[in-house]
């Protein structure tokens, strides 16, 4: 067993603006199996991928969290609708196209492996990290759209990753900050959270193990470090034979455990993602091997699973798309075409509308007009003949409230703060009639004491979705989607 073989188990992060390329070159010399990229411009990402791959003696897998297309992270690439927007449409064609665009632009950047799709279920409105990253709460819908998304990725030469096993949706803790606990019974997991993983077990290139303790599987360890979860359930019961990668080991759910990487490998993981110190993890793996805790055959099997992914990529690696594939007209047109099918009215209240000449007060909680995120929405309403002014409470103005709430790693929160909720409810109470346009989490519409006249969900803040929302409100377009989760008290 060589030190390089052990190093191939490690996939460090490379964060543009913070990472040192010379340090990354040292990791390549050590023999790491790949890198997970965060941020950067298109030129920076492509050049870093090219130079690191050229230095490596073995094929590097360059990965990234491009759940909503490369533009989610990379300046100059296309950002695409959230999973929940696609879930609202119910369209396999849109899911497949999202995967295909993501693959083409990722390959143009030199990224081989997309850590998507998320197949966690949107089963808790207070979940601070899943939310619109999920297709919805229904495991059948989730599996169907995830299959289509993966087929789109694979058809254009990129690898996918189904995450976060065994399902993060029924928790209320952000694993970037602490260790979530999933209290469902095994029957409950099998009936709901595990169903997408079971459906995708034969198709998935890789599965990401989540940092959450599923009490029905293992009370003593998170799933990412649990042999019962990764080997007993995922490998043996669900018959998954592909590569297992951990979620990032620098997340606080497991980062305090210095042996987390070794435990994850012994549990059944093949690749150890984003350790805080890759060199220290390599030393830990070497000690575990010398102590007999890790066997050469287990390392060889894990490396063989990496090599199987490299072979799958090989027909595409010789001819990456040019950089002008990024934000090309066809990819940009997708968002405009998809938006009407994805927008969804709050159940029971689809008849709200503005007419040309109406005076409407626009409002974003605790946000001055100079910082409005809904400028495209407001501009389109004005273009369509609606007179939009900053909302003035207490004078009977009709109200359009734009809410931009989305999951943010390490934030520990989602939806509205208590202060935001109070000012929103006061605005609704003082308005003649009101609509909330949710350009992110639909769960902001639940649990309000003072209800709006209507709610329109866009599930993301993309410009084309803001424009479509304005058109729906003036009856120039139809919202074709259905909210794919239970919102709560309406």
Peptide bond into 117 cis (omega under 30): yes
- Whether residue 425 contacts residue 450, with contact meaning beta carbons closer than 8 Å, is answered with yes
Taking alpha carbons only, the member of 253, 152, 252, 247 closest to residue 206 is 247
Annotated catalytic residue 193: no
112-148 per-residue burial string, b: 16 or more CB within 10 A, e: under 16: bbbbbbbbbbbbbbebbbbbbbbbbbbbebbbbbbbb
Q: Is 248 strand, coil or helix?
A: coil
Annotated catalytic residue 164: no
Q: Which residues, including other chains, have CB under 8 Å from residue 297's CB and lie 6 or more apart? A: none
Q: Is 123 strand, coil or helix?
A: coil
Question: Annotated catalytic residue: which of 247, 282, 331, 464?
Answer: 247
Q: In DSSP terms, which residues pair with 14 in a beta bridge?
A: 37
Taking alpha carbons only, the member of 469, 389, 400, 447 closest to residue 428 is 400
The C-alpha angle with vertex 131 and arms to 125 and 135, in degrees rounded to 5, equals 115
The DSSP code for 237 is I
Question: What dihedral do alpha carbons 150, 153, 159, 161 form, nearest 10°?
Answer: -40
Question: Annotated catalytic residue: which of 164, 168, 176, 331?
Answer: 176
The DSSP element (H or E) to which 456 belongs, if any, is strand 454-457
Q: Which residues, including other chains, have CB under 8 Å from residue 271's CB and lie 6 or more apart? A: 9, 10, 11, 33, 34, 206, 243, 244, 245, 246, 302, 306
Q: In DSSP terms, which residues pair with 359 in a beta bridge?
A: 387
Taking alpha carbons only, the member of 203, 108, 94, 118 closest to residue 157 is 108
The DSSP code for 203 is T
Q: Which residues, including other chains, have CB under 8 Å from residue 337's CB and lie 6 or more apart? A: none
Peptide bond into 164 cis (omega under 30): yes
Taking alpha carbons only, the member of 56, 66, 162 closest to residue 107 is 66
Catalytic residues: 176, 247
């Amino acid at each position: 067993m060589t030190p390089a073989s052990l190093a191939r188990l490690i996939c460090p992060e490379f964060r543009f603006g913070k990472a040192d390329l010379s340090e990354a070159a040292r990791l390549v010399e050590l023999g790491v199996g790949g890198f997970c990229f965060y941020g950067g411009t298109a030129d920076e990402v492509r050049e870093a991928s090219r130079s690191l791959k050229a230095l490596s003696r073995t094929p590097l897998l360059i990965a990234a969290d491009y759940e909503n297309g490369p533009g989610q992270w990379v300046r100059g690439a296309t950002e695409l609708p959230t999973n929940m927007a696609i879930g609202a449409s119910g369209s396999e064609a849109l899911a497949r196209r999202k995967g295909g665009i993501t693959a083409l632009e990722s390959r143009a950047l030199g990224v081989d492996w997309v850590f998507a799709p998320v197949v966690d279920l949107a089963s808790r409105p207070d979940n601070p990290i899943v939310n619109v990253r999920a297709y919805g709460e229904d495991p059948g819908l989730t599996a169907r759209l995830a299959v289509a998304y993966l087929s789109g990725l694979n058809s254009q030469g990129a690898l996918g990753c189904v995450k976060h096993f065994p399902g993060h949706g029924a928790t209320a803790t952000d694993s970037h900050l602490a260790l979530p606990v999933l209290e469902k019974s095994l029957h409950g997991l099998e009936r709901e959270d595990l169903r997408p993983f079971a459906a995708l077990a034969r198709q998935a290139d890789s599965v990401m193990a989540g940092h959450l303790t599923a009490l029905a599987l293992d009370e003593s360890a998170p799933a990412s470090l649990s042999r019962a979860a990764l080997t007993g359930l995922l490998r043996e019961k669900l018959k998954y034979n592909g590569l297992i990668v951990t979620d990032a080991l620098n997340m606080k759910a497991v980062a305090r455990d210095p042996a987390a990487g070794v435990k994850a490998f012994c549990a059944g993981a093949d690749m150890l993602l984003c350790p805080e110190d890759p060199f220290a993890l390599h030393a830990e793996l070497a000690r575990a091997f010398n102590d007999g805790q890790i066997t050469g055959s287990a390392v060889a099997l894990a490396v063989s699973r990496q090599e199987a992914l490299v072979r799958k990529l090989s027909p595409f690696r010789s001819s990456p798309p040019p950089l002008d594939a990024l934000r090309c007209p066809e990819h940009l047109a997708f968002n405009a075409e998809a938006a009407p099918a994805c927008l969804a009215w709050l159940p029971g209240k689809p008849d709200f509308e503005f007419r040309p000449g109406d005076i409407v007060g626009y409002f974003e909680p605790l946000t001055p007009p100079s910082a409005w995120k809904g400028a495209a929405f407001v501009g389109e309403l004005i273009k369509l003949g609606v007179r939009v002014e900053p909302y003035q409470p207490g004078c009977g103005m009709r109200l359009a409230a734009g809410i931009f709430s989305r999951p943010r790693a390490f934030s520990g929160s989602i939806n509205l703060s208590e202060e935001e909720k109070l000012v929103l409810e006061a605005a609704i109470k003082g308005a003649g009639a009101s609509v909330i346009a949710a350009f992110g989490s639909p769960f902001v519409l639940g649990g309000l004491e003072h209800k709006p006249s209507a709610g329109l969900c866009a599930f993301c803040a993309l410009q084309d979705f803001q424009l479509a929302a304005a058109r729906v409100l003036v009856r120039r377009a139809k919202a074709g989607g259905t909210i794919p989760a239970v919102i709560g008290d309406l």
